Chains A and B, each alone.
Chain A
Amino acid sequence: MSTRRYSRQSSRAFFERTWIYIGHESQVPRAGDFFATRIGRHPVVLVRGDDGETRVFFNRCLHKGAQVVADGCGKATKALRCPYHGWIYGFDGALRSIPARAGYDGGIVRAGADDFALRQVAATGNYRGFIFARAAGNGPSLADWLGPLVGSLDNFVDRAPAGEVEVAGGVLRYEHACNWKFFVENTLDALHPMVVHQSAARAAREIAAARAPAAKTLEFELQALAPFVGSYTFYDNMGARVMCNGHADLGGAASIHSNYQEDPAYLGAMTGAYGEQRTREILALSRNNSLAYPSLMFKAPVQLIRVVRPLAVDRTLIETWHFRLKGAPDSMLARTLSYSTLVNSSAGMVGPDDHQIYRRLQSGLATSEVEWVEMSRYADAGEVSADGSVSVKGTSDAMFRGQFAAWRALMRAE
């Protein structure tokens, strides 16, 4: 395969063609706050402007091309200054000033010149605080692209008594030795937990069973781990939803999170904000994972997201970000962080077992003797809703079929 062909077909090229999750607006609350990350191979930076707007720029100086700000969160006081020759940009991306500008007299380089403003990505969008961007090309608006998945994002935010969430509690960065697709697929795979996570879940179940029956409340970690070895029927019945552009949910009627004992103070705050009926509706919708394909997995019932950043064909960075529900007691964030330490950490009791399977997939699929993988489970068994989403059983392969259909469509588009 030629380098050019590889480049066009690479994992990261795919990310450069569609809407990618960048960050949450709470990461850049004030003018000059920025968050620098990647869209595929592009370094990009989310910046809050003096006008309050958030913009996403390619993080590349228009002079010699140096990355203007370092990756991660930061705060600029007056302007963005390239660390190489000191070109200075406003928070709106405009080139403000150039050192030793006399040398450019009569030429094209001057403060305010459009060609030398930080280049904005093709499109940005914000849905209830979640900021997405598309690096290049034409395509649907963010709302059209998300389609019925907005309902799942709504459930994430509606779980806050004050109707807003904010990033809190730090981030986990876990580098995986595999292609991004394995991770994305696995978050919606309901046939693996009882096999792959049997070791941790069984240990938790045995400890829980040994507790005196009088123990009315189990530690959160036992509540969290035990459902991983739920039955196939349990996972089938929780249901799944397949949507446009590869988006999907696993869980709805139930999830591995739906039997948590909720803090009465949280239920009180929710009831106070929404009333009893609406609170019941919000909390009854319980999804294991929702996927805004390909870059964002979110877990509304435990207020965390996983963000996918492909690094190479066989290397993927997974970031786990955590959210505070505004108006909720502190116990809710503490629970989110306990869950993440237990499950998503590179030293956790769940994530490394998944990662080992991704290594096996990366290795096993290196053979060209078998040119397909099997994904026919519950073929054509789905119920189509008015919004175009298809409801299927939790262990259906329909979610994977949807992902690959979306991948193929986008990679074939010119």
Chain B
Amino acid sequence: MMATNHPQSAAAATYFPLSQFLYREAALLDARDWDAWGKLFAPDGIYWVPATRGQTDSVNHVSLVNDNALLREIRLGRLKNEDTSSLQGMPNSSHLVSNIILVAIDATAGHYTLQSRFVVAQYASWGTRTFQGSYFHERVRDADGELKIALKRVDLVDVDGPQGDLLSIL
């Protein structure tokens, strides 16, 4: 197709499925479809919530979350366990994703990096808390017709302040 040879048009053609991908991810989390959410990641994919602003290192600096496939499996196993005490308050979430920017296209490697903003409401029996900040979905790649995330980075706007329970997956 002629149009996709033009970089602007290529971006436009990829923007729709990529933005839909972010919305679908949000919907899976709100539906508590943990296994389907886990499968959005590449086998070596990471879900990362840094513990300070501008953090670049997840090895020599502590994080709020730094889940590889193994830790994702444990986290999701825990979410599915009815005896988990912090989940007795029946946490529920609503993920809103907006301001999506396609910040990088690596045509050679065939992957994309997306920046967006989020508002996540987390309800538990003791109250509702709202988390806000930026998502970076890095090196999102089409693998046999399914998009897979290499790194999902979550920057909380209030990360440098004291944190309350973060029970939801952001």
Q: Please report the C-alpha to C-alpha distance between residue A199 and residue B51 in the assembled complex, in whole angstroms.
A: 24
Residues of B within 8 A of A203 (CB): 73-74, 77-78, 81
Residues of B within 8 A of A345 (CB): 51, 62-65, 166
Residues of B within 8 A of A337 (CB): 59-63
Smallest CB-CB separation from B161: which chain A residue? Answer: A173
Contact indicator per residue, chain B 20-59, by CB within 8 Å of chain A (1) or not (0): 0000000000000000000000000000010110010001
Given A168-B60, A169-B60, verify A202-B81 contact (CB < 8 Å): yes
Residues of A within 8 A of B88 (CB): 356
Given A345-B64, A359-B126, verify A206-B77 contact (CB < 8 Å): yes
The 6 closest A-B pairs by CB, nearest first: A203-B77, A347-B166, A199-B84, A199-B81, A352-B86, A346-B163
A166: min CB distance to chain B, Å: 13
Contact indicator per residue, chain A 333-346, by CB within 8 Å of chain B (1) or not (0): 11001101110011
Q: Cβ of A196 and Cβ of B63 under 8 Å apart? A: no
Q: Cβ of B74 and Cβ of A353 under 8 Å apart? A: no
Chain B, interface residues (CB within 8 Å), range: 20 to 34
A293: min CB distance to chain B, Å: 23
Q: Cβ of B81 and Cβ of A175 under 8 Å apart? A: no
Q: Please report the C-alpha to C-alpha distance between residue A317 and residue B166 in the assembled complex, in whole angstroms.
A: 15
Residues of B within 8 A of A225 (CB): 74
Residues of B within 8 A of A169 (CB): 60-62
Q: Cβ of A349 and Cβ of B62 under 8 Å apart? A: no
B129: min CB distance to chain A, Å: 11
Q: Does B144 contact A (CB under 8 A)?
A: no
Q: Does B109 contact A (CB under 8 A)?
A: no
Residues of B within 8 A of A346 (CB): 64, 163-166
Q: Does B116 contact A (CB under 8 A)?
A: no
Residues of B within 8 A of A410 (CB): none
Residues of B within 8 A of A199 (CB): 77-78, 81, 83-85
Q: Give the number of A-B contacts (CB < 8 Å).
A: 115
From residue 308 to 334 of chain A, which have CB atoms closer than 8 A to chain B? 317, 320, 322, 330, 333-334
Q: Does A60 contact B (CB under 8 A)?
A: no
Q: Cβ of B70 and Cβ of A207 under 8 Å apart? A: yes
Q: Measuring CB to CB, which residues of chain B are less than 8 angstroms from any residue of chain A?
A: 49, 51-52, 55, 59-66, 70-71, 73-75, 77-78, 81, 83-86, 88-89, 126, 161-167
Residues of A within 8 A of B49 (CB): 347
Which one of A175, A198, A204, A341 lies within 8 Å of B62 (CB-CB)? A341
Q: Please report the C-alpha to C-alpha distance between residue A198 and residue B74 in the assembled complex, in whole angstroms.
A: 12
Smallest CB-CB separation from A349: which chain B residue? Answer: B78
The 26 listed contacts between A and B (C-beta, < 8 Å) are: A170-B51, A170-B61, A171-B62, A172-B51, A177-B126, A196-B85, A200-B74, A200-B84, A221-B74, A320-B62, A333-B60, A337-B62, A341-B51, A341-B62, A341-B65, A345-B51, A345-B64, A345-B166, A346-B165, A347-B49, A347-B166, A348-B65, A349-B78, A352-B167, A353-B84, A359-B126
Q: Does A219 contact B (CB under 8 A)?
A: yes
From residue 179 to 225 of chain A, which have CB atoms closer than 8 A to chain B? 196, 198-200, 202-204, 206-207, 219, 221-222, 225
Q: Does A42 contact B (CB under 8 A)?
A: no
